[in-house]
Amino acid sequence: MKDKMKTLLLLRHGKSSWDDSALEDFDRPLSEKGVEDSESMGKYGKKKRISPDFVLSSPATRAKHTTELFVSAARLKNAPVYDERLYEASARRLLRIISGFDDANKTVVMVGHNPGFEDLYERLTGEARKVPTASLTCIDLKIDKWSAPKGGKGKLKWRMTPKKIKKDGILSRVARKKSSKVISE
């Protein structure tokens, strides 16, 4: 019997800017660090060869910009879909959204916000974990239908943060490998 599995990638929006206090929360843009981290996470996604069937994002300015940068840097072919229900969504609402995904989608990327993403992670895996800005978390779900994302059905496959990418030089190692390959050819 074939193993049934769905994969959910949670990408929290990049660090937002607080420079303009007149802006509503929904309209806050990314900071320079947020732009850099969102692009880095997209490059990491490319390195991991993620290939989602569907990309769903909050339409809040910072989440939408994160999505655009991530999709471009990861070289994904998917056109993102923006859903207002993701903005300020609780874990319960996120689970309802997930349960409506088309079952033909094996892997889905969701771009959104805390505290909903942290609560969702805990609900799905049974463990509490911080979800920092611009982090990408890959959860394998032991389900064959998106309508069945019950608590505890998920298992952390991997997680990457912008801080870890910088600290471990993950993307610079990839660049060095490519440049040495070009030199040796």
Confidence at residue 177, expressed as pLDDT on a 0 to 100 scale? 47
Domain count, the chain: 1
Q: Which tokens is 93 given?
A: 């609402």
- Secondary structure (DSSP) of 98-148: HHTS-TT-SEEEEEE-TTHHHHHHHHHHSS-----TT-EEEEEE--SSTT-
Question: Does 1 map to a domain?
Answer: no
State the CATH number of the domain containing residue 52. 3.40.50.1240
Question: Does 166 map to a domain?
Answer: yes
Find the domain containing 130 and state its range: 6-184
CB neighbours of residue 85 within 10 Å: 15
- DSSP-derived letter for residue 86 is G
Question: Does 74 map to a domain?
Answer: yes
Q: How far is CA 30 from CA 13, 19, 133, 176, in A?
A: 8, 10, 11, 29
Question: Does 52 map to a domain?
Answer: yes
Question: Does 13 map to a domain?
Answer: yes
Question: Does 73 map to a domain?
Answer: yes
CB neighbours of residue 55 within 10 Å: 23
Confidence at residue 3, expressed as pLDDT on a 0 to 100 scale? 55
Q: State the number of CA atoms in the 13 A half-sphere of 157 facing the CB.
A: 18
Task: Work out the widest C-alpha separation in the chain, in whole angstroms.
Answer: 57
| Positions in the chain whose pLDDT score sits under 50 | 1, 174-185
Question: Does 29 map to a domain?
Answer: yes
Inter-residue contact 141 to 124 (CB < 8 Å): yes
Confidence at residue 9, expressed as pLDDT on a 0 to 100 scale? 98
Is the pTM higher than 0.75? The answer reads yes
Question: Does 147 map to a domain?
Answer: yes
